[in-house]
Amino acid sequence: MENDLTYTSFVAVGDSFTEGMSDLLPDGSYRGWADLLAARLSALPRPAGEPFRYANLAVRGKLIRQIADDQVDTAAGMGADLVTLVGGLNDVLRPGCDVEAVCAHLESAVARLAPGCRQLVLMRSPARRGPVATRFLPRMEQLFAFVDDLAARHGAVVVDLYGAEVLGDQRMWADDRLHLTAEGHERVAEAVWQALGLPAQSDWTRPLPPAVRPGWAARRSADLRFTGRHLLPWIGRRLTGRSSGDGRPAKRPDLLPFGQDPVLDEVGGWADGPAA
């Protein structure tokens, strides 16, 4: 794709993946691939005097219907040059998911976003390799095939994170086993950057060094920690119909000049790609 390097605004739409979990900053907030991408886009040439603006409407735990209902019209009304939309994976990981309904909500969202932006970006979401992901593979692949079809029909770019073996490596995932680490988010930012036709700054698909398998005791300890801190609370929310995002506002609800966000000023210097 030919790029004239004149992005002046970016709106990110989605769930916890786009909010930035679990790329934790020292103050307890989350950074994430979208913030990193915004930092890099802000450094590109623009018309003199025109600030780069960024909004991130993503909220953790949201299903695709909620994303479509709560975020999409707001995003479309902002008239940004670049819009990213990632959603649906929370749906397909739930029992009894109607994938056709998920696809219908996604199609509605894309149809509203695509006409008003210069470039819409969709993604085939990354998945941690293991028995849980394997169980849901047919649903995920059905969703991702539909994403490809939507992109072809609406002129969107698809970033294939699911197909990148390194992002399935368990070391790229945080202790909750649901969200990427800081390095994982850095690689996603580079993947989107390259998908936009911008010059590569690193090889985001580069494999990690060979893994050293932890001992039995260390694995059991990690499993117990995961169960207590993450799995049981997640099950509790499912049983009571609650979500981790209930009542939580978007992390950056307004399309503001980049320099007006002190957190983004902190990440603005990242430019050399992920660490080895």
pLDDT by residue (tens digit) across 41-99? 999 988 888 899 999 999 999 999 999 999 999 999 999 999 999 999 999 988 889 99
On whether residue 143 sits in a domain, the answer given is yes
Helix axes 182-195, 33-41, angle to 10 degrees: 50
Confirm whether 44 is domain-assigned.
yes
Instruction: Name the more confident of 177 and 2.
Output: 177
Residue 276 lies in a domain: no
pLDDT of residue 236: 58
Residue 272 has pLDDT above 90, yes or no: no
CA triple 176-106-29, angle to 5 deg: 35
In a domain, 2, yes or no: no
Instruction: Name the pLDDT band for 128 (thresholds 50, 70, 90).
Output: confident
pLDDT in tens, 165-186: 999 999 999 877 789 999 999 9
Neighbours of 261 (CB within 10 A): 19
Interhelix angle 137-154/99-113, rounded to 10 degrees, is: 20
**In the chain, alpha helices (H):** 16-19, 33-41, 64-70, 72-78, 89-92, 99-113, 131-135, 137-154, 182-195, 216-226, 232-240, 262-267
For the chain, what is the domain count?
A: 1
Residue 229, pLDDT > 70, answer no
* Percent of the chain at pLDDT exceeding 70: 78
Give the per-residue pLDDT at 266.
47
Q: What is the CATH number of the domain that holds 175?
A: 3.40.50.1110
Distances (CA, A) of 90 to 46, 231, 276: 36, 15, 30
Residue 227, in any domain of the structure: yes
First to last CA, the chain: 28
Residue range(s) defining the domain that contains residue 248: 9-206+216-267
Residue 275 inside a domain? The answer is: no
Q: Among residues of the chain, what percentage have pLDDT more than 90?
A: 63
- Asked if residue 24 is part of any domain, the answer here is yes
Examine residue 141 and state whether it is found in any structural domain, yes or no: yes
